[in-house]
Amino acid sequence: MERGLVVTRQLAEGSAIVAHALVEAGCRFFAGYPMTPFTEVLEHMAEALPPVGGLCVNAESELEAVGMVWGAAATGARAATGSTGQGLSLMQESIAEATMAGIGFVVLNMARGQGDYFQATRGGGHGDYRTPVLAPSGPADVTQLVAEAFDLADRWRNPVLVVGDYYLAHTWVDIEVSAGPTVPRPAPAWALDGTSGGSGRAKLVSPLGTAKQRDGVGYDLSEHYAACDRRRQEMTAGITPRSESSAVDDAEIVVVAYGTMSRLAAGAVAELRAAGHRVGLIRPITLWPFPAADVLRAADGARMVVVYENNAGQMIDDVRLALLGATPVVGINGFRTDSSAFGIAPDATVDALCSSVRSLLGGGR
Amino acid sequence: MTDSIPVRGTAVIDTEACKGCDLCIDACKPDVLVMTTDRTNTRGYRFPELLAGCTACRACADVCPDFCFQVHRFETPRQWNGAWS
Amino acid sequence: MTNRPDDLRVVPGEVPDDATLVADFTPTLVDVGAHHLCPGCGEPVAIRAVMDALALLDLADRCVAVFGIGCSTAFSNNLDVEVLQALHGRAPSVATGVARMRPELAVFTIQGDGDMANEGLQEVLHAAARGERIVCIMLNNGVFGETGGHLTVTTTVGQRTKNTLEGRDPAQHGHPMQIAELVAGLQGVAYVARGAVNDAGNVARTKRMIVDAFTVARQGLGFALVEVLTMCPTGWFVPTDEAPAYLADTIASTHRVGVLRSELP
């Protein structure tokens, strides 16, 4: 019987909230390699997992971390790993191939800024694969999204990314941490536990295919790739893209932002509205599948869509694709960082964003 | 006519599975496996044939990469001189 | 045409009723005997030895095999034991994940030398030092067989491969690494042995090494590695019937057969 988490409301660091979210969602295996700003999640998982019968391993490299998760997840356990963008770069081959093997797990990118948007949504690996990507705005919704990430990973037998950042990792908030033991889930039928060995129908989990050999005919990759393609299409159709919008109905300018930047944008929109400007905000929650229809709808009637992201312009591509010229799109802010480049942008503030938007409003089209 | 050969076992050979690698020939301790020279299987490989004198040591089965051998041991040795006796 | 006397001609293929089956065509735990590996390839011989060991230890329904990528991948969908296919070099970390979540199982890897010693060297060393209770099996033929026979970390000095046609020269191609020795030097390791499948005697000895390795893992004594030297006549540019001798002379003179370390009581 697993112990439930004890606490109700507490002052907690974002990394701890992420760790508790993973454990509460049923994660019982975590492997990672220290890297800022992911390191504290690893520390918290090392503390949080053993009391619930889970295991946290300090892998010797990011390659080995995702490898261990591949193995643990193949036994039917909810397993997760994470890093920051550079570490995720090292994991790309395994993430891409896990989609072919039908192995689902959660990968956390505690990103340095928002420059890993392409890596997350296009995938930095090889082949025709997709990974669902969820972007919490911060500690308030990370718990829910981590739970959803595991549900998606299990449902679609696919890795799922959750994108956080330095702010999420290191912001201390007063938060209600929901208690309650996790209901143990039975391992899925495809998972390995050794027992089908010797039966004549021993299970196989493989990125090369699921069919056992017959009459000397080995893996048929064309058949397998076609099957993977069908599964990917089902997944794409089966996940509802999500976003959250506010004040877009009569907006002249609609701001698009995700993650921590969306909270800054919400602050700016509130200030601008208070000053009488008609500005709205839409924040994608699923970065993949991107809520294109929601963005198109939000932009209806606006004369400009402004993309606010802490990078040199990545999500703006998806916004442009969503609008297909229906509304002009402008990117603002650009990549901002302090000298550490860990993802803190001291000049990314509500005031700065307000000024940028005001100048766009004032200057007309 | 030479004396009959005592035989302590036999091997059934899946000649169609054979890829003609010859590893069984050297492995056979009593030296009773010989590769055909004038015939091949349907894939074009020469294959081994068993002469009298098998000891059921299963070395052929152990070294064959293509699982061509099924080895049997006789409870009592038989004699072979062109026919079993 | 043979030049043997008539009374030594081929015995008939029928088996008398009172005979006892001593060895069947395909081992119990291999599904299909047919494969497309080269004539004279040592890998199926090694895989047979592993499967026979598992059957002997009654581990078939209590094990998971983690395969690397190479010629031996031909068997990953062909065994009657549970198999998890990993990526090139990644089997030890994948096996770690399986073994940690399912400590009651016998978890082992099947990898080539290119897979384990080139792409995956850090993985096997780390798993060994961690003392993971797994058995890593390296089928060592001194070449990347599946991609056409190029040199690996274990290719011996003087060995001809696709990209060392004049023979491996340390000045140009670096020195080979002896993986069993490297692993044997780590703490956390409980059994390291190197066998070969170039003759029946070596096959039998290799099977015993594999049995011992699994026993070590089952007893929780630590990490086990069995390196198995296998023939690759294609990669070695030798006729199939000369490959066993080539293995003994060229490969095994650098990668010496024997038990390097054993914590078995």
| The pLDDT of residue C94 is above 70 | yes
H or E stretch covering C212: helix C200-218
The answer to whether position A46 is within a domain reads yes
Q: Which two tokens stand for residue C133?
A: 């209770």
Mean pLDDT of all residues in A212-219: 78
The answer to whether position B26 is within a domain reads yes
Cβ contact (<8 Å) for C23 and B71?
yes
Domain count for chain A: 2
* Cβ–Cβ < 8 Å for C101, A78: no
The answer to whether position B85 is within a domain reads no
| Lowest mean pLDDT across A107-111, A122-126, C4-8 | C4-8
| The pLDDT of residue C215 is above 80 | yes
Q: Which residue is associated with the tokens 């030895």?
A: C49
The answer to whether position B60 is within a domain reads yes
The answer to whether position B84 is within a domain reads no
Cβ contact (<8 Å) for B21 and C40?
yes
| The pLDDT of residue A363 is above 80 | no
Residue type, A297: R
At C4, the pLDDT band (50, 70, 90 cuts) reads very low
How far is C101 from C87, CA to CA, in rounded Å? 20
Q: Tell me what the pLDDT averaged over chain C comes to.
A: 95
- DSSP state, B38? S
At A4, the pLDDT band (50, 70, 90 cuts) reads confident
Cβ contact (<8 Å) for B50 and C199?
no
Residue range(s) defining the domain that contains residue A295:
243-362
Q: Report the share of chain A in percent with pLDDT over 70.
A: 95
Give the residue from chain B lying closest to C48, CA to CA: B62
Find the CATH number of the domain harbouring A32: 3.40.50.970
Q: List all residues 6 or more positions away from A354 whose beta carbon is below 8 Å from its beta carbon.
A: A268, A271, A272
Bond before A289 cis per omega within 30 degrees: yes
Same domain, A18 and A144: yes
| The pLDDT of residue C2 is above 60 | no
Give the closest of A101, A199, A213 to C85, CB-based: A101
Give the closest of C21, C35, C233 to B72, CB-based: C21
pLDDT at A10: 84
Chain A residues with beta carbon closer than 8 angstroms to that of C29: 197-198
Same domain, A273 and A144: no
Q: Which residue is associated with the tokens 């191609």?
A: C173
Same domain, A127 and A29: yes
Residues 47-86 of A with CB under 8 A from C: 55, 57, 59-61, 63-75, 77, 79
Residue A256 three-state SS: strand
Same domain, A40 and A148: yes
Residue range(s) defining the domain that contains residue B16:
5-79
Continuous H helices in chain A: 14-24, 39-48, 62-74, 85-101, 117-118, 139-156, 166-170, 221-238, 260-274, 292-299, 315-323, 350-362
Bond before A50 cis per omega within 30 degrees: no
User: How far is the CA of C95 from the CAs of A68, C30, C82, in angstroms?
Assistant: 7, 21, 12
Q: What is the CATH number of domain C36-260?
A: 3.40.50.970
Give the residue from chain C lying closest to B57, CA to CA: C22
How much is the ipTM here?
A: 0.95
Mutation site, C6, C7, C246, interface B, largest B CB count within 10 A = C7
Domain count for chain B: 1
pTM: 0.95
Find the CATH number of the domain harbouring B59: 3.30.70.20
pLDDT at A356: 94
Same domain, A120 and A250: no
What confidence tens digit (pLDDT) does each residue in A328-342 have?
A: 999 998 889 999 999
Mean pLDDT of all residues in C19-45: 94
The answer to whether position A43 is within a domain reads yes
Cβ contact (<8 Å) for C16 and B61?
no
What confidence tens digit (pLDDT) does each residue in C156-196 have?
A: 999 999 999 999 999 999 999 999 999 999 999 999 999 99
* Cβ–Cβ < 8 Å for C174, C136: no
Q: What is the CA angle A300-A305-A307, rounded to 5?
A: 140
